[in-house]
Amino acid sequence: MSTPASGPPAAPSHTLSHRAEYFATRLAVGALNLLGWRGASWVGARLARLAYRPFGIRAGVVERQIAAAFPDLSREAVLDLAARSYESLGRTSIETAILPGTSREAILARVERVEGWHYVEEALAKGRGIIAVTGHLGNWEFAGAYVAARGVPIDAVTRGAANKLFEAYVTKTREGIGMSVIHDKDAVRRAPRALRENHLVALVADHDALGLASTFVPFFGRPAKTPRGPAVFALRFDSPVLFMTGVRQPSGRYAFIVKPVDVALTGDREVDVEAIVLRYTQMLEEMVREYPDQYFWQHRRWRRQPPDTPPHLREP
């Protein structure tokens, strides 16, 4: 009897470049850990500043978006804010990289001010879980670690990465600081279970997410595609919605801020969802206006827009 022809050989699970990226990351994190939190954060700021000038990585995107969001700023002020946004992103990236080696006590100590934590306690007391929304402002990974350090069971909805070795490493580090990870493509299936178990489900709600529908709401006056998932989950499971953010202070430590997102029911599910999405987007904008240098301007926030968007409101 003849042997059936085998199919094409399976593609290698990890490419050479993926392996190189993974091992380079591990080596870099090991070296940065030797510098301590402040030293590593300083290095991150300096490296990111070089990415802006002289290398100009995404510099045009950052400058155009800042100028569009803050039309009253002079050209010099736009360039200064852009430079500081790179420094902030560098600090956030490096602080996140060394976060897994940080003790619970050290995480708690790096927060110098907490506003609104009683909203978390009140929401947990209801037993229906919490929908926590945030944006790419300050250090969103540290904010999640802080919630976990306070003893709150947290499931973070995250994007998958092309490099699965790197993704597995990041997932392991997140789990090492007390967070469970839900990939965005699995959110519709896994987030409801977490809410039923009275967990806090955290979503970064200013980028598209796989598996979660989006809608267009104004962000700095321009239509921006924004995930509907947090609002849909909140209405479906009657879960409280909280806006959370961890923003860096002049001391280098953080302020952790919690605000309730109003949920007003009209009886029309679509209207209610749109209203919730608009509200948490407005809350993010309010915080970005307060801490403009800590927003992730390197991402093209207005890349996707409705086809009938007026020319003056299109992507800058």
Q: Omega of the bond prior to 54 within 30 degrees of 0, cis?
A: yes
Task: Judge whether residue 285 has pLDDT over 70.
Answer: yes
C-beta separation of 95 from 44 below 8 A: yes
pLDDT computed for residue 163 by the predictor: 53
pLDDT of 87-134, one tens digit each?
999 999 889 888 877 889 999 999 999 999 999 999 999 999 999 999
Residue extents of the structural domains in the chain: 18-299
What separation in angstroms does the CA of 163 have from each of 16, 86, 98? 11, 24, 20
Reported pTM: 0.89
pLDDT computed for residue 128 by the predictor: 97
pLDDT band per the 50, 70, 90 thresholds, residue 8: very low
pLDDT of 37-62, one tens digit each?
899 899 989 999 999 999 999 999 99
Better-predicted residue by pLDDT, 189 or 5: 189
Measured in whole angstroms, the distance separating CA 88 from the mean position of its chain's CA atoms is: 14
